[in-house]
Homo-oligomer: A and B are copies of this chain.
Amino acid sequence: MTYDTHGPAASPLAGHSRGGRRPTLAAVAQRAGVSLKTASRVLNQEPNVATATRERVQAAALALGFRRNAVAADLARGGASRLVGFVTGDLANPFYSALASGIERELRGRGLQLITASTDEDPERERALTEELVERRVGALVVTSTAREHPALRDELAGGLPVVLVDRPALDVEADTVVIDNRGGVRTAVSHLLARGHRRIGLVGDESRLWTFQERKEAFVATLAEAGIADPGRYVRDGAHDADRARAFVTELLSLDEPPTALVTANNKITVGALHALRDRQGSAVAERGQVALIGFDDFELADLLGVTVIGYDAAEMGRQAAALAMARAADPTRPAQLVVVPTLLVERGSGEVRPATSVPTR
């Protein structure tokens, strides 16, 4: 599914003049009285532009101090800069390494190489790494952003560097973006559990400042509310940044007087933590209260052997699409920014098909 986030007449770079310290390609085109496409062709030194037009655009660019990113132009022409940067959350998380693999596969087909740096979800580190990579003249940047504001990315985009956001959009930058259908995935999971008779369903998630978890939480609460569950946020826990925290949250939830009979875990790390908590609980608690159903967001390597039902999607394909968008923008900086939404799929393996031991009405 590919959406154009703009109307057909909108400029993908128009948004960047807001806070941009650099003049945009749009401003150059406007001053020269030509289309964005033509301005781009001139500044990319492409052929077949009338001399008078060429000179008008060059004069406008000079007057405005517009500096086309030389590396991006190189990249578009298959030139010297063969490096693309990927600034991401945490490479030790298989989700990010699957993204990196997908980006790499697409780049290699084009003779390009990827370098990756991880921010550990620290906005300040993200800023510093982005700067380092730009200074090292990468030809394009793919970013899983953890920051709220992106003045540096906005400037680089305005300067002609292709920037693609993956997994999380940047609300202040009109850039090509690839995200998962987070809401659809969670709705499917919750509906699956409701259909099997669960009414007390828990959600354990990452830090609530992260856009992906916000999306997943909102869809979770909305789906329960639509099904008539009275207090849909009752079993929601956030702040589980690693598997150990998630294990503690799940243990806490399951020790409540009226514990949830089913859990949705909002990412792969949290699922691993939940599996440990469920294993800890085996024995008397299971005999008394029955198995707890579990659906995890993100597939993972051994989920099949462990019988874990998940909301899966193709992370490598997300990376591939992000790389393809970066290349398309390098070739044509005037194209409208694209939003690619990657679909999810419920993979039934047993843990999500467990029914509640006794059906307890919640209202």
Residues of A within 8 A of B (CB): 82-83, 85, 90-92, 94, 97-98, 100-101, 104, 113-118, 120, 125, 128-129, 132-133, 136-137, 243, 272, 275-276, 279, 301-302, 304-306
Min CB distance, A109 to chain B, in Å? 13
Residue of B nearest to A132 (CB): B83
Knowing A113-B132, A302-B275, say if A97 contacts B104 (CB, 8 Å).
no
Q: Which of these, B97, B117, B243, B275, contacts A97 with CB under 8 Å?
A: B97
A279–B304 CA distance with the chains assembled, in angstroms: 10
Q: Which of these, B101, B132, B306, contacts A91 with CB under 8 Å?
A: B101
Contact present for A129 and B101 (CB under 8 Å): no
A92–B102 CA distance with the chains assembled, in angstroms: 10
In the assembled complex, 28 residue pairs joining A and B whose CB atoms fall closer than 8 Å, in A order, are A82-B132, A83-B136, A90-B101, A91-B91, A91-B97, A92-B97, A92-B100, A92-B101, A94-B94, A94-B97, A104-B120, A113-B117, A113-B128, A113-B129, A113-B132, A114-B117, A115-B117, A115-B133, A116-B116, A116-B117, A136-B136, A136-B137, A272-B301, A276-B304, A279-B305, A302-B302, A302-B306, A306-B306
Contact present for B136 and A272 (CB under 8 Å): no
A120–B136 CA distance with the chains assembled, in angstroms: 23
Q: Which of these, B82, B118, B133, B301, contacts A104 with CB under 8 Å?
A: B118
Contacts of A133 in B (CB 8 A): 115
Contact present for A305 and B136 (CB under 8 Å): no
Min CB distance, A55 to chain B, in Å? 35
Contacts of A275 in B (CB 8 A): 302, 305
Min CB distance, A214 to chain B, in Å? 26
Residue of B nearest to A105 (CB): B120
Q: Which of A101, A243, A301 has the most CB of B within 10 A?
A: A301
Contacts of A305 in B (CB 8 A): 275-276, 279, 306
Contact present for A100 and B104 (CB under 8 Å): no
Residue of B nearest to A129 (CB): B113
Min CB distance, A277 to chain B, in Å? 11
A304–B279 CA distance with the chains assembled, in angstroms: 10
Query: Top 6 A-B pairs ranked by shortest CB distance?
Result: A136-B136, A92-B97, A115-B115, A91-B97, A92-B101, A116-B116
Min CB distance, A76 to chain B, in Å? 19
Contact present for B98 and A92 (CB under 8 Å): yes
Contacts of A85 in B (CB 8 A): 115
A104–B101 CA distance with the chains assembled, in angstroms: 20
A101–B97 CA distance with the chains assembled, in angstroms: 12
Q: A91-B97, A97-B97, A279-B305 are known contacts; what are 6 more A-B pairs with Cβ within 8 Å?
A: A83-B132, A91-B116, A104-B120, A113-B132, A114-B117, A136-B136
Min CB distance, A139 to chain B, in Å? 11
Min CB distance, A11 to chain B, in Å? 32
